[in-house]
Amino acid sequence: MSKKRREIPVFDHPIIETHCHLDYLKDRPLEETLEQAQGVNIEKVITIAVSPDNLARVRELSQVAPWVYGTQGIHPHDAESYSDDVEAEIRAHARDEKIVAVGEIGLDYFYDNADRDVQREVFRRQLQIACDTDRPVVIHSREADDDTIEILGEFEATLKRRGVIHSFTSGPGLARYALDQGWCLGFNGITTFNKAENVRDIVRMAPIDQILLETDSPFLTPVPYRGKENAPFYLPFVAEKIAEVKELPLDEVIGKTYQNSLRTFFPGE
Asked if residue 19 belongs to a known ligand binding site, the reply is yes
Asked if residue 75 belongs to a known ligand binding site, the reply is no
Asked if residue 166 belongs to a known ligand binding site, the reply is yes
Asked if residue 84 belongs to a known ligand binding site, the reply is no
Asked if residue 21 belongs to a known ligand binding site, the reply is yes
Q: Are residues 101 and 214 in contact, defined by beta-carbon separation less than 8 angstroms?
A: no
Which residue ranges are tagged as binding site? 19, 21, 104, 140, 166, 216
User: From the annotation, which residues make up the binding site for a divalent metal cation?
Assistant: 19, 21, 104, 140, 166, 216
